[in-house]
Amino acid sequence: MASDPLGKSKRSFVQIIDYTFRRMMAAPPYKQFLLLLGAPLFLIVLLYYLYQRKKDGYSEQESKLKQSLIASGQLDQFKKDFTDQLIRKRQFFGKQIDDGEIAKEAEKLAQCKLEAYVSELAVEVIRKETGKNKMSFEDAFSVLIEKKWFFCLSFIPGLFMYLLLFLYMNPYVKYIMERLVMTVFVVVGVSILVFTILYISPFNPAANILGETATKEQIAAFNALHGLDQPYYIQLWNTIKGIFTFDLGSSFAGNEDVISTILRKFPITLTITVWSLLLAVVIALPSGVVSAVRRNSIFDHSFMLIALLGLSIPSFWQGLIFILGFSVNLEWLPATYNSHNWLSLIMPVVVLGTGLTAAVARMTRSSTLEVIHEDYMLTARAKGLSSRRVVMRHAVPNALIPIITVIGLQFGGMLGGAAVTEKVFNISGLGSYIVDKQFIPDVPAVMGAVIYTAIIISVVNMMIDILYAFFDPRIRHKMKQY
């Protein structure tokens, strides 16, 4: 954790840039991006750094010390020590001893140790003679950035570097930026995994679509048309490129534009999932809190039993029972989904939200139970606050972190697992679309649906992480320290 040597009110704009630059140079991942984005600018800094080192006498002092140590036999002593170590190491592991190989490796190690030793000695000598420390690359940047002319001239060639510095300054923007970069890696990883599974699957898209009567020439023409005759790496690269350029071409079956189809079907799945999530939160949060406050009461045991049943009931069975009861027997609700009839949403939403409601309720109860026995809760009661105020102001906000985690994870599972519910209620959403296409396998269609679902889940998880900081001041403080 880096400490801020300057108070926020005392730091100038240039000092903030310098301080942020030093922090980023201390973090290896950011250091690489920083040096890459500011390459033209850092070339000037490097030249100035080398000039200052030569001017300060470090290079000359290092050269003198190195010659002196070599003349005194220090290098030979290092070689002898490393040679003995390498021989003992090979003898211990029972390896064959090659004198020529050992001599080369000992020479290399001795030179490295001599360079490090000389550098340390030179720093000490110069410090005693001049009272100055050795200038680092970061120090050279600090000296130059303090000059207004350098900052003005460097703004254009170092624009992307300064932009990265400004993003890093704000802890929340930095946090979001890191999550977005992680999302890119997740998308690439999921793309490779899903494509590889489809590629090695025993299904033959050409044979499945053209039928059993298709000739070899027809199958070959189909594969050539859709690029299935190309090597694995070329197909994978074209697929990943299409994902990031929003161009996955047309599906094998139906010749539909994949992106347009996903944009048409995904809102249906998202609507059902969001309504199910809202239903679960509205029911589960109050019920879980009341169960925790009234622990071991009739309400507590009854509701936890209902929650356990909700977790145990398979969604497809629950959907069929709902259709049989509310559509066939009672004729209250339509059995299949109709975008023009809001009543057709009720049963899919309830079926999809049952499991989430049960999971969130149980987590709310257990998390609240952990919080209400903390010392600060006893202090709040000792101050004379009412039980309701203690629970709502102190217990619930501190119990929300694990609850938010469960909601985020379950939302992703609902979004990806809505296929069963969509099939039961004949909903033409993204889940049923994936199920229909995966048995061909229709690679562009499946890849598009799975990958863009993964992107939405990653964005939701990022929002959940941001909510952590909103509800917990400890997390906000930690974010500002790194």
**Which two tokens mark 444?**
């562009």
Q: How many whole angstroms separate alpha carbon 40 and alpha carbon 124? A: 33
What was the pLDDT predicted at 6? Answer: 42
**Which two tokens mark 470?**
């909103």
Whether residue 360 contacts residue 281, with contact meaning beta carbons closer than 8 Å, is answered with yes
Cβ within 8 Å of residue 24, ≥6 positions away = 30, 31, 34, 164, 165, 168
Q: Can you give the C-alpha Rg of the chain in angstroms? A: 33
Instruction: Give kind and range of the element (H or E) at residue 162.
Output: helix 159-169
What was the pLDDT predicted at 58? Answer: 63
* Nearest residue to 125 (alpha-carbon basis) of 280, 283, 117, 140: 117
Q: List, for the chain, all residue ranges whose pLDDT scores fall below the cut of 70.
A: 1-11, 53-62, 122-135, 416-417, 471-482
* Structure-token match 């020590």, residue found: 81
SS3 at position 19? helix
What was the pLDDT predicted at 326? Answer: 85
Cβ within 8 Å of residue 136, ≥6 positions away = none
* Eight-class DSSP state of 472: -
Helices 443-471 and 430-438 meet at what angle, rounded to 10?
Answer: 140
SS3 at position 250? strand
**Which two tokens mark 116?**
């490090």
What was the pLDDT predicted at 479? Answer: 59
Q: Give the angle subtended at the CA of 170 by the CAs of 164 and 175, to the nearest 5°.
A: 85
In the CATH hierarchy, which fold is given to the domain comprising 258-439?
MetI-like fold (1.10.3720)
* Nearest residue to 429 (alpha-carbon basis) of 283, 281, 276, 299: 276
Q: Where are the domains of the chain?
A: 13-170, 258-439
Q: How many whole angstroms separate alpha carbon 415 and alpha carbon 431? A: 8
* Structure-token match 């809190």, residue found: 289
pTM of the model: 0.63
What was the pLDDT predicted at 123? Answer: 62
Whether residue 455 contacts residue 184, with contact meaning beta carbons closer than 8 Å, is answered with no
What was the pLDDT predicted at 126? Answer: 60
**CA atoms within 13 Å, Cβ hemisphere of 80:** 5
